[in-house]
């Protein structure tokens, strides 16, 4: 028998850890990075997606994985690539792009660019966000990639890299095309990225109006200026797509981003957008369940310098409490015992598993509180003796069946 033979691993939810955790959380109903049932909010939208940034929680998903015509909301992908170029230093706000005949000829919403003029990136951004200019999108596409076709190939490649599972682009502007599609989830995750990854550029989305060529146009986002914390992002409308909005708002230390697609008219878009924000902010409260580094359980260590290691969360655990949810939670800590030494500080050891009525199972990783080096002679002798004793008890020491 050698010290290299560990005991058979056992799936080990400790009763003490479970009871202690449940007692600590008895007053809480917890939602962690999970989706609430769509029935929690009834919307007229064909598809919808709502996300809480602080707790990384999807509050609602209705037909969120269905590819639909996104109309001008897909301009967010064009802006994302432009913002990336700005962040990388490939262009600056003062960089100018030449307007082509193809750009000037674009129909629909326009910035009213003229062929041959050179337009600075700082003006093309509000031309896309505020004016929803199809001509501005083509100008950006050609300025960054040479042709709109080449830019579209980059859009699709970048969408795959970002994990936009249902997105496929046929142009830079959202102009109607049978193969131009995005899901509500795609749009929402792209919007979350733009809020969080481009903090210096994101304020462009709250611009209320913009004047170009002597023509002033107002931002079509119906939430801006209502005093409800809204500061972005993009509207969309075509006959096929209906009316939609990718919106975001911040109140206190919470931000909510949402997508609505396929609404029947401008009024419905405005009403549903305000309603869904009020629901998201007023029907949930943020609670801190556990702090990073707070020990939630201990696990035995095989041949370690010390016999146990604490299990902790790597990050603070902030969760949402639905106002209408009164059911108690069930919680348990699961890990394979014992943990074989050496153990590194921060090494993933197990999981905190929570089950919430009507929501399902939610998991968070638990890591080692401290490093545990491999033990010396005494721990190894003790481990060998324990293994021999267990095998003698279960009859495997002498090959018994």
Q: What is the pLDDT of residues 124-135, one digit of tens each?
A: 999 999 999 999
Out of 20-24, 69-73, 138-142, 205-209, least confident range: 20-24
Residues 6+ apart with CB under 8 A from 75: 128, 129, 132, 137, 172, 173, 174, 234, 236
Domain interval for residue 322: 10-32+288-394
Of 317 and 241, the structure prediction assigns the larger pLDDT to: 241
**pLDDT band of 379, cuts 50, 70, 90:** low
Decide if 37 is inside a domain: no
Q: What is the pLDDT of residues 153-203, one digit of tens each?
A: 999 999 999 999 999 999 999 999 999 999 999 999 999 999 999 999 999
Decide if 250 is inside a domain: yes
User: Are residues 83 and 156 both part of a single domain?
Assistant: yes
Decide if 275 is inside a domain: no
User: Are residues 26 and 57 both part of a single domain?
Assistant: no
Task: Using the structure block, give the residue that is written with the tokens 């307007």.
Answer: 99
Of 32 and 92, the structure prediction assigns the larger pLDDT to: 92
* Cα–Cα separations (whole angstroms), residue 49 to 161, 236, 283: 21, 16, 16
Write down the pTM of the prediction: 0.78
Q: Which of 62, 72, 100, 173 is catalytic?
A: 72
Decide if 132 is inside a domain: yes
Bridge partners, 232 (sequence order)? 248
Q: Is residue 33 pLDDT above 60, yes or no?
A: no
Average pLDDT over residues 95-101: 98
Out of 49-53, 107-111, 282-286, least confident range: 282-286
User: Are residues 184 and 221 both part of a single domain?
Assistant: yes
Q: Is residue 385 pLDDT above 70, yes or no?
A: no
Of 39 and 305, the structure prediction assigns the larger pLDDT to: 305
What is the tally of structural domains in the chain?
2
Asked if 208 contacts 181 with a C-beta cutoff of 8 angstroms, the reply is no
Q: Where are the strands (E) in 291-337, listed by range? A: 295-302, 308-313, 317-322, 330-337
CATH number reported for the structural domain that contains residue 321 in this entry? 2.60.410.10
Asked if 12 contacts 301 with a C-beta cutoff of 8 angstroms, the reply is no
Average pLDDT over residues 272-276: 97
Q: Which of 75, 100, 248, 318 is catalytic?
A: 75
Distance of CA 397 to the CA centre of its chain: 52
* Cα–Cα separations (whole angstroms), residue 81 to 125, 126, 183: 12, 15, 19
Residue 7: what pLDDT?
Answer: 36
Residue 326: what pLDDT?
Answer: 52
Average pLDDT over residues 70-81: 98
Of 325 and 309, the structure prediction assigns the larger pLDDT to: 309
Out of 2-6, 39-43, 49-53, 302-306, least confident range: 2-6
User: Are residues 19 and 51 both part of a single domain?
Assistant: no
Asked if 159 contacts 167 with a C-beta cutoff of 8 angstroms, the reply is yes
Residue 9: what pLDDT?
Answer: 37
Decide if 274 is inside a domain: no
User: Are residues 229 and 170 both part of a single domain?
Assistant: yes
Report the alpha-carbon distance of residue 148 to residue 169 in Å, rounded.
Answer: 11
User: Are residues 90 and 145 both part of a single domain?
Assistant: yes
**pLDDT band of 310, cuts 50, 70, 90:** very high
Q: Which of 74, 100, 109, 132 is catalytic?
A: 132
* Cα–Cα separations (whole angstroms), residue 204 to 70, 134, 167, 190, 251: 21, 18, 24, 16, 19
Is residue 132 annotated as part of the catalytic site, yes or no? yes
User: Are residues 216 and 356 both part of a single domain?
Assistant: no
Report the alpha-carbon distance of residue 234 to residue 80 in Å, rounded.
Answer: 13
Decide if 207 is inside a domain: yes
User: Are residues 54 and 25 both part of a single domain?
Assistant: no
> DSSP readout, 124-181?
HHHHHHTS--HHHHHHHHHHHHSSHHHHHHHHHHHHHHTT-TT-B-SSSS----TT-B
226, 247, 263 - which closes a domain: 263
> Which three-class secondary structure state does DSSP give residue 398?
coil
Decide if 93 is inside a domain: yes
263, 298, 330 - which closes a domain: 263
**pLDDT band of 398, cuts 50, 70, 90:** very low
Please say whether the dihedral angle defined by the alpha carbons of residues 65, 69, 72 and 77, taken in this order, is positive or negative.
positive
Query: What is the crossing angle of helices 121-129 and 134-145, to 10°?
Result: 140
**pLDDT band of 6, cuts 50, 70, 90:** very low
């Amino acid at each position: 028998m050698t010290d290299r033979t560990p005991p058979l691993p056992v799936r080990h939810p400790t009763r003490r850890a479970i009871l202690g955790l449940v007692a600590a959380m008895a007053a809480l109903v917890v939602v962690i990075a999970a989706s609430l049932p769509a029935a929690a909010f009834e919307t007229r939208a064909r598809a919808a997606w709502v996300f809480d940034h602080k707790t990384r929680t999807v509050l609602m998903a209705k037909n969120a994985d269905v590819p639909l015509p996104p109309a001008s909301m897909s301009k967010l992908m064009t802006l994302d690539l432009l913002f990336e170029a700005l962040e990388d230093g490939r262009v600056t706000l003062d960089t100018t792009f030449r307007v082509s005949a193809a750009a000037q000829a674009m129909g629909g919403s326009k910035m009213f660019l003229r062929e041959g003029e050179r337009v600075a990136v700082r003006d093309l951004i509000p031309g896309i966000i505020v004016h929803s200019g199809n001509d501005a999108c083509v100008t950006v596409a050609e300025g960054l990639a040479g042709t709109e076709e080449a830019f579209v190939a980059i859009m699709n490649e970048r969408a795959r890299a970002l994990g936009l599972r249902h997105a496929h682009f046929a142009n830079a502007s959202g102009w109607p095309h049978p193969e131009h599609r995005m899901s509500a989830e795609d749009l929402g995750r792209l919007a979350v990225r733009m809020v969080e990854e481009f903090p210096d550029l994101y304020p462009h989305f709250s611009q209320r109006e913009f004047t170009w060529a002597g023509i002033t146009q107002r931002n079509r986002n119906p939430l801006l200026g209502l005093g409800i914390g809204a500061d972005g992002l993009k509207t969309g409308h075509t006959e096929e797509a209906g009316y939609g909005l990718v919106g975001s708002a911040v109140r206190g230390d919470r931000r909510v981003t949402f997508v609505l697609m396929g609404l029947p008219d401008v009024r419905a878009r405005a009403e549903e957008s305000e309603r869904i924000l009020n629901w998201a902010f007023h029907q949930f409260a943020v609670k801190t369940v556990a702090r990073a580094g707070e020990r939630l359980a201990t696990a035995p260590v095989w041949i370690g310098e010390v016999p146990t290691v604490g299990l902790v969360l790597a990050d603070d655990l902030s969760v949402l409490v639905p106002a209408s949810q009164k059911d108690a939670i069930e919680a348990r800590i699961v890990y394979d015992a014992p943990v074989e030494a050496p153990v590194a500080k921060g090494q993933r050891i197990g999981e905190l598993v929570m089950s919430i009525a009507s929501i399902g199972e939610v998991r968070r990783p638990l890591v080692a509180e401290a490093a545990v080096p491999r033990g010396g002679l005494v721990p190894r002798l003790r481990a060998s003796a324990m293994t021999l004793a267990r095998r003698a008890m279960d009859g495997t020491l002498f090959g018994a069946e």
